């Protein structure tokens, strides 16, 4: 599953340190042939390129998620459930934004994802779009994602709520879970302060 950070860079750094500084007979460069050294250099170069691409993707994911987080905070300031969403083209162009407004509007169907979906207007196809949401989508919103064929879902976090992520994965939807501490804290604080509204939002009995 794609990651939202550059942890691979740290792994490569550790590998480099191990190879260059270890004095053990199994790891020191002194025991390697010239051919081995060339192979390692090629591998590191390839791994570095892959890592660079992933880091660029991570920065793009962070940019997209920041827009959804701003929507979540807007919803919270209005007295609503802090779940924000945004829809992007695969090339990064913003299509629409939205946030959970079921409390503000008295409409239980307006979740963050559905609000962004409505604000996107009619689309000929959704197969080049990314649904971005600060929290793992509930079954209702997961159904929307599946129904209209979104190929990718970027999720701020799934610790507070897992929703339909595994179900979406089972249909080949690419799920990118950023595990954002900001999103985790935002949602956890709200659930702790308003458990009744939260349970109502996800259709659970208190």
Angle at 163 between CA 101 and CA 79, to 5 degrees: 20
Nearest to 166 by CA among 10, 1, 14: 1
One of 60, 71, 113, 205 is an active-site residue; which one? 113
Strand spans (E) along 80-173: 84-89, 94-99, 129-133, 152-155
Instruction: Give me the phi and psi of 199, to 5 degrees please.
Output: -60, -40
Does the annotation mark 113 as catalytic? yes
Query: Cα–Cα distance between 121 and 192 in angstroms, integer?
Result: 35
Query: Cα–Cα distance between 164 and 155 in angstroms, integer?
Result: 12
Q: Counting beta carbons within 10 angstroms of the beta carbon of residue 180, is it exposed (0 to 12), middle (13 to 18) or buried (19 or more)?
A: buried
Please list the active-site residues.
Answer: 113
């Amino acid at each position: 599953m794609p990651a939202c950070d550059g942890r691979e860079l740290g792994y490569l750094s550790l590998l480099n340190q191990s190879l260059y500084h270890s004095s053990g007979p199994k790891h020191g460069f002194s025991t390697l042939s010239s051919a081995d050294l060339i192979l390692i250099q090629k591998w590191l170069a390839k791994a570095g390129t892959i890592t660079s691409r992933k880091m660029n993707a991570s920065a793009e994911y962070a940019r997209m998620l920041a827009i959804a987080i701003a929507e979540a905070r807007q919803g919270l300031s209005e007295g609503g459930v802090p779940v924000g969403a945004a829809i992007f083209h695969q090339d990064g162009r913003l299509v629409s934004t939205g946030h959970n407004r079921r409390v503000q509007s008295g409409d239980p169907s307006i979740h963050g994802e559905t609000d962004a979906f409505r604000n996107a207007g009619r689309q000929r196809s959704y197969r080049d779009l990314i649904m971005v949401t600060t929290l793992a989508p509930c079954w209702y919103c997961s159904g929307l994602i599946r129904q209209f064929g979104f190929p990718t879902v970027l999720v701020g976090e799934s610790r507070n709520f897992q929703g339909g992520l595994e179900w979406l994965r089972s249909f080949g939807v690419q799920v990118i879970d950023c595990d954002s501490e900001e999103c985790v804290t935002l949602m956890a604080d709200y659930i702790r302060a308003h458990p009744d509204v939260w349970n109502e939002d996800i259709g659970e009995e208190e």
